[in-house]
Amino acid sequence: MDFNYREALKKIPAKPGVYQFWDAAGELIYIGKAKSLKNRVSSYFNKDSYRINAKTRVLVSKIADITFTIVDTEIDAWLLENSLIKKHQPRYNIMLKDDKTYPWIVIKNEPFPRIYWTRRIVKDGSKYLGPYASVSMMHTILDLVKEIYPLRTCNLPLIKQNIAAGKFKVCLEYQIGNCKGPCQAYQSEDDYNQNIENIKDILNGKTGSVIRNVKAELDAAVAGLNFEQAHRLKHQLDLLERYQSKSTIVNSSISDVDVFSIASDEKHAFVNFLKVMNGTVIQTQTLEMKKRLDETDEELLSFAISEFRTRFSSSSKEIIVPFELEIEDPGIRFTVPKLGEKKKLLELSQKNVSFFKRERIEQYEKLNPEVRTERLLTQMMKDLRLNQLPRHIECFDNSNFQGKYPVSAIVVFKDAKPSKKDYRHFNVKTVEGPNDFATMEEAVYRRYRRMLEENTPLPQLVIIDGGKGQLSSALKSLKLLGIDNKLTVIGIAKKLEELFYPGDQYPLYLDKKSETLKIIQQLRDEAHRFGITFHRQKRNKATLATELSNIPGIGKTTAERLLQHFKSVKKIREATADELRQILNTKQTGALLQYFKGSTKNDSSGM
């Protein structure tokens, strides 16, 4: 590396701030924040951490210059980092996937303020609430507000002089009850502004105070026998209480908090934000980020919190998070709840971010099936403690009927999908009676002896349908062949879906919803189906052979030859004498035809 980082580090102070890495072409490639600039920047050139992360190693190899900005506090560094990343979008920084312009609800700075939604913020003294990640939610709130408090929608300059001079006439909106006619002084400015204050409270989640005010007005109207006014206020109260019942999720004492949760994988992270006022979620959004340098969840969440609070202009003094963050700011309290109402809020946020992540992954995997395969195999490798991706998996199962007609079946999955052309079944040769362990031992030995003889690549994972006994039998054959260290073998017990490993007395339990367990169950069920099918075929064939061998002149060997040639008794029955003579001699052919002729008569007489 030509860059003399030791000289650069001498100039960097141990103070909070933001550092910037530049490449030889003068391009800004990375921006970061730090509680101590010297310690953080030095860590990139530490030999131990330099070896750990390949992506960071590439970044460091490109550094040609380092600049920095000192700030007063860590929280200032936090906000400045977010601002600079959004402005410059360096190559190695987290990439925000969500660049939409979300709508706001604006309360216009004018006499008799209008309320409407916009995507453009103008600094004219108007009050903006939002942004709203859900457009439908925003329209629902606006519709509620307009139904409770009729407001003007026109853009007339309703200053006192114009109204007093009678410059305006009420329009159709007044006639149909959507406006109270402030343009002709039918509604006073004080009454209109009181409605605006109530609307602000609703938009800020303070529905309870508005309900209390409406109830007081309702009681006064009833006491004054103003039933028309009371009816209108009762309608407002019903709408407000219905809205509150849908929005309140926790104790209303929880006021003005931000809630964040995160879900991540190898390449992406998703952060959910909930804005809570008086126990009501008034804003929510989930952000997707693309990792660049294997950032930790702590780093990603810190960045997202800064982004969300800037985007939503949040000044909440309390932030609920799923784990401790190294952010020190005397004006903000970070809470990691263990129980209670705040824990419920965090769980709600976590449900939202998990759903969003699952939905995005499913959507992406539908378009890119190979990505799903890689993810599944990687998850299986992690869950089953494998040292390589299980691209080739084989599963064994045995079948017999009271010890008779024993067979073994093997099914093969490649890239987590059935490879039916590779399915095999075995007629058990060396086992007498119902000995499941010996049957498994023979099947596994024959399978992998042949693969070794044919120089066929071995599977990465072998699954044995059964508990410790069947697993030990399979392992015995693998050791005999000298390949017990070349693949992983596990057993699955049916009752509790326990996974057994050789030499481990305690089973492994996977989550019942685990994709790894579902694939193992699919393998097990497919092996059982394939084995049972072959077992029935063998049993049926033996039954048919017994039936034919009862015919005078036809023994067991001849019966098996007939079945092998004609495939079924039905086809033998329908065969001509010439066709039968291809297998039988003249005497046997006559006996067989006579037998079928007699059985046909017996069948007819019984009808």
The helix-helix angle for 297-311 and 74-88 (nearest 10°) equals: 80
Q: What is the reported pLDDT for 280? A: 66
Tell me the average pLDDT of the chain: 80
Of the candidates 322, 342, 336, the one whose C-alpha atom is nearest the C-alpha of residue 279 is 342
Beta strands in 230-388, from DSSP E residues, in sequence order = 257-264, 268-277, 280-290, 318-320, 333-335
Of the candidates 405, 386, 407, the one whose C-alpha atom is nearest the C-alpha of residue 397 is 407
Question: 445 near 462, Cβ under 8 Å?
Answer: no
pLDDT: which is higher, 482 or 4: 482
Taking the alpha carbons at both ends of the chain, their separation in whole angstroms is: 98
Question: 273 near 258, Cβ under 8 Å?
Answer: yes
* Percent of the residues in the chain that have a pLDDT greater than 90, as a whole number: 10
pLDDT > 90? residue 262 = yes
pLDDT > 50? residue 607 = no
Q: What is the reported pLDDT for 75? A: 66
Cα–Cα dist 583/548, whole Å: 14
Cα–Cα dist 263/267, whole Å: 11
Question: 501 near 476, Cβ under 8 Å?
Answer: no
Q: What residues have CB less than 8 Å from 427, skipping those under 6 apart? A: 407, 538
Provide mean pLDDT across the span 324-341. 83
Q: What is the reported pLDDT for 36? A: 84
Cα–Cα dist 280/257, whole Å: 10
DSSP 582: T
Question: Per-residue confidence at 54, pLDDT binned at 50, 70, 90?
Answer: confident
Least confident of 122-136, 383-397, 540-554: 540-554
Q: What is the reported pLDDT for 20? A: 85
Provide mean pLDDT across the span 249-277. 80
Cα–Cα dist 605/335, whole Å: 89
Cα of 192 vs its chain's centroid, Å: 47
Question: Per-residue confidence at 448, pLDDT binned at 50, 70, 90?
Answer: very high
Least confident of 38-42, 136-140, 245-249, 283-287: 245-249
Q: What residues have CB less than 8 Å from 266, skipping those under 6 apart? A: 291, 378
Measured from the Cβ of residue 305, the count of other Cβ atoms closer than 10 Å reads 24
Q: What is the reported pLDDT for 602? A: 44
The helix-helix angle for 341-367 and 369-383 (nearest 10°) equals: 130
Q: What residues have CB less than 8 Å from 520, skipping those under 6 apart? A: 463, 492, 499, 510
Q: What is the reported pLDDT for 201? A: 78
pLDDT > 70? residue 512 = yes
* Percent of the residues in the chain that have a pLDDT greater than 70, as a whole number: 82
pLDDT > 60? residue 199 = yes
Cα–Cα dist 491/498, whole Å: 8
pTM: 0.48
Q: What is the reported pLDDT for 130? A: 67
Provide mean pLDDT across the span 366-374. 79
SS3 call for 31: strand
Amino acid (one-letter) located at 33: K
Please, which contacts does 554-560 make with residues 24 or more away whose CB atoms are closer than 8 Å? 554/584, 554/588, 554/591, 554/592, 558/583, 558/584, 558/588
SS3 call for 314: coil
- For the stretch 96-121, pLDDT in tens is 665 456 678 888 999 999 988 888 87
Least confident of 256-265, 579-588, 592-601: 592-601
The helix-helix angle for 135-148 and 189-203 (nearest 10°) equals: 150
Provide mean pLDDT across the span 149-162. 88
DSSP string, 497-510: TEEE-TT-SSPB--
Amino acid (one-letter) located at 561: R
Cα–Cα dist 68/449, whole Å: 65
Question: 22 near 65, Cβ under 8 Å?
Answer: yes
Question: 97 near 304, Cβ under 8 Å?
Answer: no
CA distances from 427 to 144, 407, 409 (A): 74, 5, 9
Measured from the Cβ of residue 330, the count of other Cβ atoms closer than 10 Å reads 7
Of the candidates 251, 403, 405, the one whose C-alpha atom is nearest the C-alpha of residue 342 is 251
Q: What is the reported pLDDT for 276? A: 80
Provide mean pLDDT across the span 409-424. 89
Cα–Cα dist 543/540, whole Å: 5
Amino acid (one-letter) located at 514: S
Cα–Cα dist 80/310, whole Å: 11
Specify the residue for token string 């039918």.
186
pLDDT > 60? residue 542 = no
pLDDT > 90? residue 561 = no
Q: What is the reported pLDDT for 63? A: 87
Residue ranges of alpha helices (H) inside 454-585 are: 468-481, 515-549, 556-566, 569-574, 577-580
What is the arrangement of strands in the sheet containing 65-70, beginning at the earlier edge strand?
A: 28-34, 17-22, 65-70
Of the candidates 208, 199, 305, the one whose C-alpha atom is nearest the C-alpha of residue 251 is 208
Q: 275 — phi, psi (to 5°)?
A: -100, 120
What is the helix (H) or strand (E) element at residue 47, kind and residue range? helix 47-52
Q: 442 — phi, psi (to 5°)?
A: -65, -45
Both tokens assigned to 49? 């951490």
CA distances from 171 to 105, 145, 156, 174, 184 (A): 24, 20, 12, 6, 10
Provide mean pLDDT across the span 176-195. 89
Q: What is the reported pLDDT for 461? A: 93
pLDDT: which is higher, 569 or 238: 238
